[in-house]
Amino acid sequence: MPPTSNASVAIDLGTSVITTVVGERDELGQLHILGVGQAPSSGIEAGQISHVSRAADSIRASLDQAEASSGRQILSVGIAVSGAHLQSMNNRGAVALPSLGEPIRDADLVRAIDSGRAVTINQVSSLVHAIPRYYVVDSERRSFDPRGQHGQRLDVSMHLVTASHSAIQNAAHCVQNAGVDVELIAAKPVVAAERAVRSDEKEFGALVVGLDAGTTTLTAFEDGAISHTSALPIGTSHIARDLSVGLHCANDEALSVMRSHGWAIPQLVPNDEAAIQLRGFSANGGLHSADPSLVAEIINARSSEVISMIANRITESQLQQAVAGGIILTGGGASLRGIDLLFSKALESPTRIGEPGDLFGLADKLRHPDALGAVGMLDWMLDSGDAISTGQPGTLGRHKEPGGSLLVPLVSGLSRFVRVFNPNS
């Protein structure tokens, strides 16, 4: 089996499903999917590793499927991680420009970015993203790309995303136990949001809500740039747990009911909807029925609680401008029927379901909002060929250690694996 050559491989370490995507970009910039692997997730809870060997087995199963469907050997991957440990901050950096007679160059942007990412981070966290939001020349001219301009001072507004050091180390360790090297690490809410949001939405404002199994994530865009990243320790697995208790069935069956029969708004359930047949906890395994309206009421109650938590986060983090522009739902929970209407009504903002966009090749399994983490991670990798040392807006940093395992340099100097986004991309 040949190696992946110019293709890249991305893994979304989801709480319910681990998705591996092999892909490449053609000369027109179109994303071609060469292989997909999906395996039930085990050993991962709320986005974090809870059992190393089980998680490694699930990752290996997903990799095996991706290798079989692509016909290529997978040697290294990029991984998208999530969890309530993700946090963000905005920071400002500034540098003096060498000469009024010379225009701003790439090296000046690099110095400004280095200044903006030089913040004190607690010992249990690592920097995973440093994103320049915009630049300001001489404290008066705001610009997304100041190269070629003249001035005495260059400021940059940076969005910094941190993650738990141990969570990243555990994720990298599990992937390596599955038999492949870790090439890059990214925060799933960031890469998924970058894939889901259009450029006009970034400019006007948008809040991307990731309704994942273990967590609910928030990624905000304001004035053309990312402004906030965070996560809440509640997800669709909590809805399934409520259904399991309310319907007196196993959690796996409750999860299947949520996916197949779930409505987020009870009033939307059709009057002729048939009763749901369930295999309960009785000793003889007999069937019993559940009213679809009851299922919707349970889903609505927990979904409303999540929305209330999101509303509090919006107020705390002053994200009203992003919400006014619109809400984009991603993750498995975005497939719940009526969930967009529930969000729109509760938060008084237009809401749509996020989609991975144009994909070619073996993309049938990826045309749903739950695939945005893996597809966004693949985007992140394919666009990271140029070194961060160029400092060019729109180029994405990737630094490799020569030879050996990447685990040690990855967790000891993670800031070197930071992506630099172009706010206007």
Sheet holding 327-330, edge to edge: 225-232, 216-222, 206-211, 327-330, 351-353
Rounded-to-10 torsion of CA 392, 397, 402, 407: 170
CB 159 within 8 A of CB 200: no
pLDDT for 257: 93
Q: Which residue has the higher pLDDT, 317 or 383?
A: 317
Query: pTM above 0.85?
Result: yes
Residues 324, 330, 336, 337: is their CA dihedral positive or negative? positive
Residues 146, 151, 157, 163: is their CA dihedral positive or negative? positive
143 to each of 3, 129, 136, 146, 423, how far by Cα in Å? Answer: 42, 21, 6, 6, 10
Q: What is the mean pLDDT of the chain?
A: 87
Confidence of residue 346 (pLDDT cuts 50, 70, 90): very high
Residues 124, 19, 422, 204: is their CA dihedral positive or negative? negative
pLDDT for 5: 59
What are the domain boundaries of the chain? 87-161
CATH of 87-161, one of 3.30.300, 3.30.1490, 2.40.360, 3.30.70: 3.30.1490
pLDDT for 419: 42
Q: How many CA atoms, within 13 angstroms, populate the side-chain half-sphere of residue 122?
A: 11
How confident is the model over 184-220, as pLDDT tens digits? 999 999 999 999 999 899 999 999 999 999 999 999 9
